[in-house]
Chain A
């Protein structure tokens, strides 16, 4: 509970000054009428000051957001419940919820007196314009008297939060991303993805590929066992997001990083819709590996909602981890800023032959020559390695960038 600041309002101070002057002048000049007015003002002040609760209202606040997770520009209703845990009834107060400006105006409400141990509730809605995990609160409370003479501000600690996921733009793809030059069957790596987790074992049947025999199981069971093979093949898409602070330009909602996040979310949603098993690889400093891998749509959205730009060495771990996912082919989407030569080589090598790799490289519209040059070199290197590349500034509509990239989608041919 923060300490309250001065108790008298501007009007209160003015009343105090004028009341004292009137009282003194009245007594000194022997004018009882002046004294009378002075006493009226001072008595009003004194009674209000005395009755103004000296302690701040002792409240506990809880917030419930419905929905707890939402997209940008969606509306959530926040239900705020106030519990009087103090030792007396609270005075009439007015409250203001301290919110990030991106959540819209700070909601204000009147809090009628709350009895001992009683609850009071109030609802407001927020409509965030920026993705992220936004804190709700703390609540600032002013206790005021009806004469506007005293006003005591205090802060009711305790915050809630809502998660605002990035905006998802509907993307359209010119041709199936997994399709290469030939038929689907001709790109087996891309289709028959068998991650370690996907394995199951069944008995050998005639016609099974001998290479699929699982020898340890065979030894244990005493009969030939093979790795499961007749599951529907799932195509894999790997999205890499470069969150290095230094490479991005702009601030806030219009920064290039936000554009990247939006793009990543859109691609993620789009590929998930198309039936890909999507992996989102993002730098994560809280993790030993320095990288975070999300596979469910919800988890990926949450990651994208919370992600922030980080230090320069963050992307290296992502590249390193990506090898494990791209080794068997699949769609690769890299959202990067300009990379140095080593990193560019590491990135370009992630693309397997026959698979589609899309690189979107941020080149700042204005700014340093060097970062623009770096982006140009990265694009050139990726392009020569068979990537579909685009230079993005962070202001293009994501859908257009995507359709331009994929509309002319031809594996191995630079646009």
Chain B
């Protein structure tokens, strides 16, 4: 049994299967997992069998590899075999599988369809992983090293899932790996000698169960810490550092964020960065989102801008489309700290004036105001139209010639129009349809989630049929602002309303008078065009993430989300997949000191329970030395005569020496104790003399006739303690200071008195 090592082999297989599980969301459908688990188990059993045959690790590993590969042949490539022998067909299938796998992985966003080549490659990878884990952890008895292949696989899965893995995926491999460590360590301890010491008069007991219980406790603490702490610790935004480095290579503008100017609808959302991108003050009590750009070209699930061309209009800003009849506000916003990279310029509403040099402003084909060069701070006076519902109803955008803003997506056209017939019948007026579409999207039918749902449609063979991203969203009703905005834009276009996607930032967090916009406040929303009103912002993304929808976009407020403050975490308008070249909004500049302080403050607020706990523990540790000193002083005060005082000082000296692991033997007389202490504390001349004095005084206190002259030995005992401490390592001195025996005794006495009183 010991040589076969069945238990560690099972644990190794469990750990390998555990790191295969996080790949489940990446490869769908999950039929590949069954094969993989089976293969991992086969490799494990093969290891047990091979260890029975041979002691040589090389032979065991070779045997496992051969058995694993044969199992792959039989399970996955049976159709290509000729009486269990590989044929040319087998070879071509295998060689074709690798490029097919690479193509699937690079071209498809997660989840990748688990086709036959994908399953084959996954099977080979996990067989190799299982063999290496088993070889290291079981055959070579190096479970610590087996953590490396496990870690590699786990990190591979983690780096490909945008939001990180759920901690549940972490539990199985972590528990299995820690169990491997404990099992190997325990068997090493027990195997150390063939002999186990037995208690006097008792029987030899196997210490393994005792240690394993201990190990289980330690493992539980460690795993619990690993589950809880990552949520509490402050993390930089993903790829903060990596992007910061990469940007230097591009030689571009070293400062500032930029918002990705394409949006992929099918991607999971990655960036949850809390880096500030913008700070501003405004006299607008209810500031609108800051718009950065608009996108109106949609194809293959990606939104793109019309063109990147900028026009120099000599500082002239595009005129408002709104007629005089429309109610409007004209607040002013002063941006104090703009970290966006040029040419993007976050602006609220329709800008009227911007207090910067005219030659630095540009306008693009969509009428968006852009800039050249640095623009750290600027004030913008803008117009915010607030059309009444009647005015919206009156404006009929249908029949518009804005072809770009009316193009519909052919892939999802059938799906969208089918839904649209139920949601917003064609005979309603345009405003009514827009209201209904928004209300439907904001209804409880839809779930806001940064992770997109897995595909739902399958063909006859059980393979997933990837829907186009918009249909996928409408079918699964799960997504974030990009999907909601896309759905609303497409549905509006189907009904002949010109529509486009605006990207920018939610108003951010109000702190005093200053609003702070962070990367995570990035947002996307639809804008619908109504003649004589202009582009009107709608808000189909549900509830708490975006705040209330604008008043004019609500028919009779049937299904609005709860009114929420804009300080709630909000969605990001951008997303990125691992292979996406364009980065999400990030900041390469180091955050300022104020930003760091604000971050720390925010972090403390967010984690006040753990922080308080840590603080309490720290305080209780720190007061231990104090308690010890109080206890000593009280004992000295309560001593009735010099003899008792000398006893107290002696006991205190012994305790303090005990802290630095200098101990007199049990039952030693003061003189014997003196000799032991002098020797083991490496006392020098002066301190030896001091200890002599202390002991002589103690002897007189104990044995001389009452009333003998007893000098005060406080200084002497202090000298002894100090000299003995100075002979010790720093760590021990610190420990002795932080956690002294006298303090521990004080804690114990307090506990006892509480305990007594409690009874």
Q: Which of B144, B193, B735 contacts A110 (CB 8 A)?
A: B193
Docked complex Cα distance between A30 and B270 (Å): 11
Chain B residues near A81 (CB-CB < 8 A) = 200
In the complex, the answer to whether B214 meets A146 with C-beta atoms within 8 Å is yes
Nearest B residue (CB) for A97: B193
At the interface with chain A, which of B176-184, B537-545, B548-556?
B176-184
Chain B residues near A82 (CB-CB < 8 A) = 197
Q: Which of A31, A33, A44, A122 contacts B222 (CB 8 A)?
A: A44
Known A43-B222, A81-B200; further 7 A-B contacts with Cβ < 8 A: A1-B680, A94-B192, A94-B193, A112-B197, A113-B210, A122-B197, A144-B189
In the complex, the answer to whether B190 meets A30 with C-beta atoms within 8 Å is no
In the complex, the answer to whether A31 meets B159 with C-beta atoms within 8 Å is yes
A203 in contact (CB, < 8 A) = no
Convert A132-173 into 0s and 1s, putting 1 for each residue whose CB lies closer than 8 angstroms to a CB of B: 000000000000111110000000000000000000000000
Nearest B residue (CB) for A58: B663
In the complex, the answer to whether B170 meets A112 with C-beta atoms within 8 Å is no
In the complex, the answer to whether A48 meets B195 with C-beta atoms within 8 Å is no
In the complex, the answer to whether A35 meets B196 with C-beta atoms within 8 Å is no
Docked complex Cα distance between A11 and B151 (Å): 16
In the complex, the answer to whether A47 meets B222 with C-beta atoms within 8 Å is yes
Nearest B residue (CB) for A54: B735
A114 in contact (CB, < 8 A) = yes
At the interface with chain A, which of B40-48, B123-131, B229-237, B712-720?
B229-237
A28 in contact (CB, < 8 A) = yes
A14 in contact (CB, < 8 A) = yes
Convert B173-210 into 0s and 1s, putting 1 for each residue whose CB lies closer than 8 angstroms to a CB of A: 01000100110111011101111111110000101001
Q: How far is the CB of B236 from chain A (nearest CB, A)?
A: 5
Docked complex Cα distance between A120 and B239 (Å): 58
Q: Which of B159, B185, B230, B231 contacts A147 (CB 8 A)?
A: B185
B164 in contact (CB, < 8 A) = yes
In the complex, the answer to whether A112 meets B195 with C-beta atoms within 8 Å is no
Q: Known contacts A35-B230, A36-B230, A147-B215; is A47 also within 8 Å of B235 by CB?
A: no
Q: What are 8 A-to-B residue pairs whose CB atoms are below 8 Å?
A: A31-B159, A37-B155, A54-B735, A110-B192, A110-B196, A111-B197, A120-B199, A147-B178
Q: Known contacts A39-B230, A51-B218, A110-B195; is A144 also within 8 Å of B185 by CB?
A: yes
Convert A111-123 into 0s and 1s, putting 1 for each residue whose CB lies closer than 8 angstroms to a CB of B: 1111000111111
Chain A residues near B231 (CB-CB < 8 A) = 32
In the complex, the answer to whether B155 meets A34 with C-beta atoms within 8 Å is yes
8 closest A-B pairs by CB? A108-B193, A33-B158, A109-B193, A119-B200, A40-B226, A30-B238, A43-B222, A122-B197
Docked complex Cα distance between A95 and B280 (Å): 70
In the complex, the answer to whether A107 meets B195 with C-beta atoms within 8 Å is yes
In the complex, the answer to whether A124 meets B195 with C-beta atoms within 8 Å is yes
Chain A residues near B154 (CB-CB < 8 A) = 33, 37
Q: Which of A15, A32, A35, A48 contacts B218 (CB 8 A)?
A: A48
In the complex, the answer to whether B170 meets A44 with C-beta atoms within 8 Å is no
Q: Known contacts A40-B226, A110-B190, A148-B181; is A122 also within 8 Å of B218 by CB?
A: no
Docked complex Cα distance between A108 and B155 (Å): 41
A85 in contact (CB, < 8 A) = yes
Docked complex Cα distance between A41 and B218 (Å): 11
Which range holds the interface residue count of chain A?
35 or more
Docked complex Cα distance between A15 and B145 (Å): 10
Chain B residues near A124 (CB-CB < 8 A) = 195
Docked complex Cα distance between A137 and B205 (Å): 25
In the complex, the answer to whether B239 meets A147 with C-beta atoms within 8 Å is no
Q: Which chain A residues numbered 83 to 103 have a C-beta less than 8 Å away from chain B?
A: 85, 92, 94-96
Q: Known contacts A47-B218, A85-B666, A94-B192; is A29 also within 8 Å of B212 by CB?
A: no
Docked complex Cα distance between A147 and B188 (Å): 10
In the complex, the answer to whether B205 meets A36 with C-beta atoms within 8 Å is no
Nearest A residue (CB) for B197: A122
Q: Which of B195, B221, B227, B236 contacts A47 (CB 8 A)?
A: B221
B219 in contact (CB, < 8 A) = yes
B73 in contact (CB, < 8 A) = no
Docked complex Cα distance between A115 and B223 (Å): 30
Nearest B residue (CB) for A108: B193
A376 in contact (CB, < 8 A) = no
Q: Which of A32, A107, A114, A144 contacts B230 (CB 8 A)?
A: A32
In the complex, the answer to whether A147 meets B218 with C-beta atoms within 8 Å is yes
Q: Which of B198, B229, B236 contacts A28 (CB 8 A)?
A: B236
B590 in contact (CB, < 8 A) = no
Q: How far is the CB of A330 from chain B (nearest CB, A)?
A: 52
Convert B123-165 into 0s and 1s, putting 1 for each residue whose CB lies closer than 8 angstroms to a CB of A: 0000000000000000000001001000100110011000011
Q: Which of B164, B185, B661 contacts A31 (CB 8 A)?
A: B164
Docked complex Cα distance between A43 and B207 (Å): 24
Nearest A residue (CB) for B142: A11
Chain A residues near B308 (CB-CB < 8 A) = none
In the complex, the answer to whether B239 meets A39 with C-beta atoms within 8 Å is no
A250 in contact (CB, < 8 A) = no
In the complex, the answer to whether B239 meets A30 with C-beta atoms within 8 Å is yes
Docked complex Cα distance between A121 and B199 (Å): 6
Q: How far is the CB of A47 from chain B (nearest CB, A)?
A: 5
B616 in contact (CB, < 8 A) = no
Q: How far is the CB of B758 from chain A (nearest CB, A)?
A: 26
